[in-house]
Amino acid sequence: MKRTAYTIAFTILTGVVFAQTENVPDTTRFNLKTTEILIIDHAGHDEGDEDIDTIDAAPDSETKRKLEAHWAGLDFGFNMLTDGSFGTSFANYPYWENDPARSMTWNLNLLEHKFGIVKEYVGITTGLGFSWNQYAFSDNYILSASNDTLTAFIDTVNVYSKNKLKASYLTVPLLLEFCTSANNDKSFYLAAGVVGGVRLTSKIKRAGEFDGKEFKQELKGIYGLNPFKLDATVRMGYGSWGAFATYSLMPLFDTAKTTEVYPLTFGLSLNF
């Protein structure tokens, strides 16, 4: 009798299965206490169609959030040349007393990565960027560079509307960063550290007038510039906007050719 009862029950269950399959041709589910039976019907589907049964896994609470840094973006600032004591006067080298209002810096910081120390609030930031710097001379000074010396003299013939030394660098930062939120749009941040650089290009760019005619000059050269730079920096702000300042820890020029000159830069940042 038991076998007969099981046979009847199985027959009824099978009939219910096919009846429900006809009503819902794609997927049929049966719950038998703690067990769920899932039947997928591929009939009637064109070749190439797929039935995908997806089981959403519970979110892993241990999954690490991607840490957002405050390096990638665009910087714009102004350069001031200083001596080793943060002074801006050069008694024996007056040509290094540049015009800060026309001495600008553009930084394009493309790559960033933040290594977390205390969740998203404290971390080490590094990355990659490019820096374009220019230093405007005053009083029509003309740089004169040789293998042994770097000096300048005043041009008493030409009148210059533009007279700048320009240099570009590949830069890599190493910053200790603090922020108040994992959401960059609503976070105050403070970062301090160093930015190293390798000089890529350098040149003198001039524009002016001679004998009633305008002229432009672009003269490529090293001009006594050091091949590397290392700047101390501080960056701070809120959300996408911030301010930064850098001070060179290495002289801008080869000190065997001229006096020690250290650029001081300050400006604004737009973070990507």
Chain segment 237-263, per-residue pLDDT in tens: 999 999 999 999 999 999 999 999 999
Length of the chain: 272
Chain segment 170-189, per-residue pLDDT in tens: 999 999 999 998 887 889 99
Instruction: Write the DSSP assignment of 131-177 as a string of letters.
Output: EEEEEE-STTEEEEE-SS-EEEEE-SS-EEEEEEEEEEEEEEEEEEE
Ramachandran quadrant class, 224 (left: phi over 0; alpha: psi -120 to 50; beta: rest): left
Asked whether the predicted pLDDT for residue 47 surpasses 60, the reply is no
Q: How far is 87 from 197, CA to CA, in rounded Å?
A: 24
Tokens of 207: 């524009």
Q: How confident is the model at residue 126 (pLDDT cuts 50, 70, 90)?
A: very high
- Find the range with the poorest average confidence among 121-135, 154-168, 189-203: 154-168
Chain segment 55-101, per-residue pLDDT in tens: 444 444 433 457 889 999 999 999 999 998 999 999 999 999 999 99
Chain segment 199-234, per-residue pLDDT in tens: 999 999 999 988 888 999 999 999 999 999 999 999
Average confidence score pLDDT of the chain: 84
* pLDDT for 209: 87
Q: How confident is the model at residue 28 (pLDDT cuts 50, 70, 90)?
A: low
* pLDDT for 13: 45
User: DSSP assignment, residue 69?
Assistant: -
Chain segment 154-166, per-residue pLDDT in tens: 998 888 999 999 9
Q: How far is 241 from 271, CA to CA, in rounded Å?
A: 6
